[in-house]
Structure 1
């Protein structure tokens, strides 16, 4: 039973690397997990479908955000933003990538909209990336860094939720720690991510790369060449709608309600014509439909792993062979966390599962509370970057592949796995041993 998670995750990863679509890869991996756990085919798919609803709200929010992004793009306000970036950053590829990373960081803490900004900002820049011969893998790593590093290190916005989850999970298992102590324990692992970003931007993807040649989806156009466009009343109305989305999200903590509010405001304020509603829906679903379905299937896959008890069995079986060497215990448990999070695709969803087992192991082995927090936080964060089913990879792909020139696995997942999971693993292991 303990090998169910490992084998099913390997099936998903290998099929994805062979360019089998991630949705089919996860369905086949779910089938492998179910059959290995003693279920028949019907029971496996029933369990898969029962788990799909676990991320229904997230999937719906992404579809609505896609429609909202299409409306914003229609007004031309992103064209103005992109033209400003072009004027300032033309020829400065490294500065452009780091600027995108900075904007992504703000989406986690200062203005916690998560991936909602990506389909608004990135598609209009794709033509610029091609003209500058900018390697889109550098942009993917920059976006993933901004979506992940802030919540790992900073207890604000999504970072507050992340560290509160660690705090509560540890408290439920008998170890008390503050949110700020949890965040402090993750500073060293976070430094590993900063190193990974610098390697990606200044070494791995610095060389010019010829853009791929493919036929652009004619239903989605991202034109930034309107030189006569100036900031007008519809752009002010668009900013009001965007502000409304932010306010509603703060008040309700719901992306679905916030995105729907933005769509309604764009229509009521006459920022976009009501008669073009079908076009906006079509463009929004085209941009975000795949990511929504991936999230749904990933939820079902994770549900199968949880329902079969395979995750708990894997952790418990690993704990029996660890001994009392802190370095070995940390290494093995981080490796287990990496495998589990790649399969489930959510660091936030993985932490409660890991904490229930990791806290007793850490206490028994004599780890400090800070070391246990670093162990849980790093093990949960590992695999978020690089997972085919993670927001941190699906978000960047949703923007970078708007013109069909960016492959989710080879252009987003593999680069982010190499540049973030490896240094995060090493720096996290060092932090656990030192704390």
Structure 2
């Protein structure tokens, strides 16, 4: 038996890296005053049809959807924002006196797509959502958090790309310009883009198949159609990024793959050599209409999401070793039946005092137990035999210095806590 295609087993030695990264992201979120939310792994399919958009590739091609025993259409979540906003509306978080509501999440998402390096059918996403503020400053804050998620782990080859998708008026004007521009060459576009031309022409700019078509290069820019409010909003976001010392590039063709975005949109990419053809690490933007679409009051929002898999790939591409200490504090070597029983008590005491401790469970000889301690990188080996038991002592060997001394058993915990 093998795991399903597009999934992976994270084994000891690898999971420690994931835990380290996840703890770093949680700590960073806490410093920005974002609080964790945990939503179900599956939702009613309608949530993603309404929240993500019927014209998106996610809804049309990539969702894991099934009918449950109650004849309800259920979908494994393909992204996190729709679920977070659904929960925000359902639990009336908009009524909290502390606004905006600042949330983060981390967990598995599911998309049926061709598995490739850094893109799995089950993948883990970390994301943040700030709901309840239309201040350009919080756009900059979310971008700052996204950038620092990578920088604090040591990544340097980063590129931030931003754009404005404008408000509804701006987008409507741009939408018509795109229709007028692409209609003459409609038959030259792929089937998806031909369908998008009528439903959501902005998504044509995000097409991977037609990216080299001449019409793509000359397509009208949304920046040319921003009204005064949208243009001013974008300028303020850039001003905040400037004063925060966050470098960026404006890309007039940047659009996000989901229907709910407006105003600020951004992506963070890796410029690291050997990272791969798909350079995008994360992306996000503002979605001022999504809360209303899901039955809530008019509430602006902005957020981003990143893939933990791609983050780890970027760390590998830049040869960054995470400072993970997998050493044991102590390994207890027991010689003889009475010592084995006594060792179980010692191991229990040391673990409850906060130390990482292990012992032999395969009846190995003394030399083999020391080898096991070496493999586990134990800092100290505690030796308990008949002589030590008779004198109420235990031998403590410092594996780095090689020094060894006998310690009274009753004083062992306080002694080790003093030096570890």
Task: Work out whether the TM-score is over 0.5.
Answer: no
Which has the larger share of strand?
2
**Which interval holds the TM-score relative to the shorter structure?**
under 0.3
Larger of the two Rg values belongs to structure: 2
For normalisation by structure 1, the TM-score amounts to 0.21
- Greater relative CO (CA pairs within 8 A, separation 6+): 1
Which has the larger share of helix?
1
